[in-house]
Amino acid sequence: MLKLISRRLIGMVPLLLIIVTITFFLLRKAPGSPFASEKGFKPQVIEALNRQYGLDKPLHIQYFNYLKGVVKGNLGPSTRYVGRSVNDIIWEHLPNSLLLGFTAYFIALLVGLPLGIIAAVKQNSLVDYLSMATAMLGVSTPTFVLGPIMIILFSLTLYILPPARWGEMRHLILPAVTLSVVYIAYIARLTRSGMLEVLGADYIRTARAKGLSESAVVMRHALRGGILPVVSFTGPALAFLLSGTIVVERIFAVPGLGNIFIEAANSRDYFVVMGITLFISIALIVMNLLVDIVLGLLDPRISYK
Amino acid sequence: MNQTTQLVELVEGTSLWQDAWKRLKKNRLALFGAVTLILISIAVVIGPMLSPYSYDQIDLNITNQPPTFSHWFGTDTLGRDIFVRSLVGGRISLMVGLVATAVSFVIGVTYGAVSGYFGGYVDELMMRIVDILYSLPYIFLVIVLLAFFSKDITMLFIALGAVSWLTMARIVRGQVLSLKNQEFVEAARAVGVSTPKIIFRHIVPNTLGPVVVYTTLTIPSAMLSEAFLSFLGLGVQPPLSSWGTMVNDGISSISVFPWQLIFPGVMMAITLFSLNFLGDGLRDALDPQSRKE
């Protein structure tokens, strides 16, 4: 296990180097510059600004300077928000996105798992069909359609929750629920198929044969194997969650990382775009590693050599 | 398994596709999805031609009207007909779905087949590249591509197609690995069939089952990505309409003119719903083992 972790962490280094290189040259080769949009600047002012941010040096020197900074954990300055570093911007907005994402995923597990288990245990019953049809509806409703519908329903018709505020726990409800619906649907479907596979296995027959109660068979024996697909879905889910949060942050005006990223991309804030891309990549790789470790702990058939 | 035994004296071999079609016909939800999709496709293709309005026809005398007989879905803030704009948006959406899927099909199948067939170092290298591409936060890269280069629709096609072939390549590779040592391939090799011909004439057709299933699932996800990017203002640009941009435009006036958002939104949800049902039905039909009875 330790071998696996260290090998994967070492493998991260070239991967991150590739990501940094791709984003760096992609951004620099693109037309436009951070200061071109601010019209009315004299050429001398633009030149001075470029010099201040080191953008006047040859591209390869800029690249190595950036790499040096990244190694030291310094992601550079923002060209849009004067005097602020990318690190500051990420640390300020990340907690909001994380809170939103994890609450949504938690809600999804809380609702999706029982839904899938019940559907599997009562296979081909009305409950099964209903929950699977609902799950399909959840998968098919884009977040940006669902969000506004939630606002119409809860903010503009029932007046229970505010449409776009941030700061109290209460304000988290609408965005988190909106974001969770797709995952509820996925998790319910994965749990159902995983449970169905396990419930047909021999060791479940053995458990039943030794006279265990049905709930003990399902909850203690079947569930452990049945939720494996859900655990492996966590990796891709987190990647999805990233794009989901961008939309939800936009609709509900949440001051998160997604909103900042779109703004930065549109205003060519080079360092912010690169910094967030790099940060997200690291987060994704680490989460995928954690998922593999959990899978190995849950499923004795998986061995890492 | 591939034989019908109802008529003993006429035992006829049924192909995978005949078998699949028989199973698909029994699946009401999948058929319902297929019919809805056909209706929507017809509507978005010929609907805009029959309408007296065009998608970019501005009429400031009739802005923000609720649904009426002359404007079935109402009008938007510039007095444009929402019904026609929804249909044109549907055209874009279907087109993106099909083109992105075709790109992912061509690249993914070729890449996966070559990697799986040659095996060894070639396979190792090619799959390592796929692994690396997998771990890129590609939504961010697509946003960067669109925001920094150009926001035109060709870029959108390229960006979406380029990121959706990875899973296809993996699926095809897995299939090819299990097929390449079978007798019929050896036979083809023995009679001197060229390597490209073995791959594309003999092996690839046998991988089509899982490929078709994955393809039907790629279409809705590409459509969703298009709408997502258009929603963020990075995809389809005005005056052209897309379901994503229409929903985005509708949000600002959601409390006063909810129909501007609801019609395109619901139309999109229905389309995705039908596609997913059809995709599920196809998976069950083509891969009966995956269906737990």
- Region A105-122 average pLDDT: 89
**Identity of the residue numbered A263:** E
Mean pLDDT of B149-158: 76
Residues A256, A261: Cα–Cα separation, whole Å: 9
The mean pLDDT of B11-39, rounded to a whole number, is: 78
Residue B81 lies in a domain: yes
% of chain B at pLDDT higher than 90: 2
How many alpha carbons fall within 13 Å on the CB side of residue A169? Answer: 1
Token pair listed for A178: 């909106």
Q: Can you give the pTM of this predicted structure?
A: 0.78
Whether A136 and B137 lie within 8 Å, measured CB to CB: no
CA distance B292 to chain A (A): 7
In 3-state terms, what secondary structure has residue A273?
helix
Q: Is A278 within 8 Å of chain B by CB?
A: no
Q: A100 pLDDT exceeds 60?
A: yes
Q: Are A186 and A233 in contact (CB under 8 A)?
A: yes
Instruction: Give the per-residue pLDDT at B12.
Output: 59
Most confident stretch, A77-81, B90-94, B259-263: B90-94
ipTM of predicted assembly, 2 dp: 0.74
pLDDT computed for residue A37 by the predictor: 60
Interface test mutation site (partner B, options A243, A260, A272, A277, max chain B beta carbons within 10 A) = A243
3-state secondary structure chain B: CCECCCCCCCCCECCHHHHHHHHHHHCHHHHHHHHHHHHHHHHHHHHHHHCCCCCCCCCHHHCCCCCCCCCCCCECCCCCEHHHHHHHHHHHHHHHHHHHHHHHHHHHHHHHHHHHHHCHHHHHHHHHHHHHHHCCCHHHHHHHHHHHCCCCHHHHHHHHHHHCCHHHHHHHHHHHHHHCCCHHHHHHHHCCCCHHHHHHHHHHHHHHHHHHHHHHHHHHHHHHHHHHHHHCCCCCCCCCCCHHHHHHHHHHCCCCCCHHHHHHHHHHHHHHHHHHHHHHHHHHHHCHHHCCC
Chain B hits for A152, Cβ within 8 Å: 254-255, 258
Average pLDDT over residues A280-285: 81
CB atoms within 10 A of CB B97: 23
Residue A302: band (very low, low, confident or very high) from pLDDT cuts 50, 70, 90: low
Instruction: Please check whether residue B176 lies inside any domain of the structure.
Output: yes
Amino acid at A134: T
pLDDT bucket at B292, cuts 50 / 70 / 90: very low
Of B135, B247, B275, the CB nearest to A148: B247
The C-alpha of B141 sits at a distance from chain A's nearest C-alpha, in angstroms, of 8
What is the pLDDT at residue B101? 87
Q: CATH code at B160? A: 1.10.3720.10
- Whether B1 is covered by a domain: the verdict is no
Is A28:A59 a contact under the CB 8 Å cutoff? yes
Instruction: Give the three-class secondary structure for A302.
Output: coil
Say what the pLDDT of residue B111 is.
92
pLDDT at residue A162, rounded to an integer: 72
- Nearest CA to CA, how far is A210 from chain B (Å)? 25
Nearest to B100 by CA among B232, B226, B212, B213: B226
R_g of chain B computed on alpha carbons? 23
CA distance A132 to chain B (A): 11
Q: Among all residues of chain A, which has the CA nearest to that of B145?
A: A26
Contact assessment for residue A121 and residue A222, using Cβ atoms and an 8 Å cutoff: no
| B273 interface with A at CB cutoff 8 Å | yes
Mean pLDDT of chain A: 81
- Per the structure, the count of domains in chain B is 1
Percent of chain B with pLDDT over 70: 90
Q: B75 - beta bridge partners?
A: B81
Does the beta-carbon distance from A142 to B266 stay under 8 Å? no
- Per-residue pLDDT at B9 exceeds 70: no
Q: Which residue has the higher pLDDT, A299 or A115?
A: A115
Residue-number span of the structural domain to which B201 is assigned: 19-48+73-290
Q: Which of A20, A23, A145, A269 to mutate to test the interface with B (most CBs of B within 10 A)?
A: A145
Q: What is the pLDDT of residue B2?
A: 45
Q: Which two tokens stand for residue B61?
A: 């005398």
Note the CATH number of domain A94-267: 1.10.3720.10
Closest C-alpha among A240, A239, A266, A263 to residue A253: A263
Q: In this prediction, what percent of chain A has a pLDDT beyond 70? A: 93
B61 within some domain: no
Peptide bond into B239 cis (omega under 30): yes
Q: Dump pLDDT digits (tens) for B81-124.
A: 888 888 888 888 888 888 888 888 889 999 999 988 888 888 88
Q: Which tens digits make up the pLDDT trace of A238-259? A: 766 776 788 888 888 888 888 8
CB A142 within 8 A of CB B268: yes
Task: Bin B158: left if φ > 0, else alpha if -120 < ψ < 50, else beta.
Answer: alpha
Beta-carbon separation of A140 and B147 below 8 A: no
The whole-angstrom distance between B143's CA and the closest CA on chain A is: 8
Does residue B7 have a pLDDT over 50? Answer: no
Per-residue pLDDT for B291 more than 70?
no
Pick B247's closest partner by Cβ from A137, A139, A144. A144
Token pair of B21, please?
A: 């079609």
Cβ atoms within 10 Å of A84's Cβ, excluding its own: 13
Question: Is some CB atom of chain B closer than 8 A to the CB atom of A22?
Answer: yes
pLDDT of residue B266: 86
CB distance from A267 to chain B under 8 Å?
no
- How far apart, in whole angstroms, are the C-alpha atoms of residue B252 and residue A302? 51
Contact A277 B140 (CB under 8 A): yes
**Domain-by-domain residue ranges, chain A?**
2-70, 94-267
To the nearest whole number, what is the mean pLDDT of chain B?
79
Grade residue B293 by pLDDT with cuts at 50, 70 and 90. very low
Residue at A67: amino acid letter: L
The pLDDT of residue A64 is above 50: yes
Tell whether B236 is within 8 A of chain A (Cβ): no
Q: Are B129 and A278 in contact (CB under 8 A)?
A: no
Q: What are A161-196's pLDDT values in tens digits?
A: 776 777 677 778 888 998 898 888 888 888 888 888
pLDDT at B1 over 50: no
Strands (E), A25-127: none
Residue A82 has pLDDT above 50, yes or no: yes
A102-129 core/surface letters (b: 16 or more CB in 10 A; e: else): ebbbebbbebbbebbbbbbbebeeeebe
